[in-house]
Amino acid sequence: MSAGAALLPGAPTAGPDAGPLTLGVLGGGQLGRMFVHAAQAMGYETAVLDPDADSPAGRVSHHHLPSAYQDPRALTQLAALCSAITTEFENVPADALALLAATRTVAPGAKAVAIAQDRLAEKAHFVRCGVPCAPFAAIANVADVESAPADLLPGILKTARMGYDGKGQLRVADRAQLRQAFADLKQQVCVLEKLLPLTLECSVVLARGADGAMVEFPVQRNLHRAGILAVTEVFEGALPTPIAAQAVHAARAIAQGLDYVGVLCVEFFVLQDGSLVVNEIAPRPHNSGHYSLDACDQSQFDLQVRTLAGLPLTQPRQHSAAVMLNLLGELWGPHLDATPHWDAVLALPGAHLHLYGKRQARPGRKMGHLTLTAHSAQAAQATALQAAHILGIEAF
- Listed in order, strand segments (DSSP E) in the chain are 22-26, 45-49, 63-65, 84-87, 105-106, 136-139, 155-159, 169-172, 190-194, 198-208, 214-216, 220-225, 228-234, 262-271, 276-282, 321-328, 351-355, 366-374
Torsion of CA 362, 368, 38, 115, to 10 degrees: -60
Same domain membership, residue 185 and residue 103 = no
Same domain membership, residue 177 and residue 242 = no
Residue 15: the pLDDT is 44
Last residue of a domain, one of 66, 82, 116: 116
pLDDT, one tens digit per residue, over 348-383 is: 999 999 999 999 999 999 999 999 999 999 999 999
| Strand partners for 208 | 214, 262
- What is the rounded CA–CA span in Å between residue 114 and residue 104? 18
Cα–Cα distances (Å) from 135 to 149, 155, 196, in that order, read: 10, 10, 9
Cα–Cα distances (Å) from 271 to 152, 276, 279, in that order, read: 16, 6, 12
- What is the rounded CA–CA span in Å between residue 165 and residue 346? 28
pLDDT average, residue stretch 111-123: 96
Same domain membership, residue 357 and residue 221 = yes
Confirm if 2 and 310 have CB atoms less than 8 A apart.
yes
Residue 13: the pLDDT is 52
Q: What is the mean pLDDT of the chain?
A: 94
pLDDT, one tens digit per residue, over 171-185 is: 999 999 999 999 999
Last residue of a domain, one of 174, 194, 214: 194
Residue 2: the pLDDT is 44
Number of domains observed in the structure of the chain: 3
Q: Which domain range does residue 160 map to? A: 135-194
Same domain membership, residue 160 and residue 34 = no
Picking from 94, 287, 304, 289, the residue whose alpha carbon sits closest to that of residue 208 is: 304
- Please give the radius of gyration of the chain, using alpha carbons only, rounded to the nearest integer: 21
CATH of the domain at 324: 3.30.470.20
Torsion of CA 42, 30, 268, 297, to 10 degrees: 30
CATH of the domain at 144: 3.30.1490.20
Residue 48: the pLDDT is 98
Confidence of residue 3 (pLDDT cuts 50, 70, 90): very low
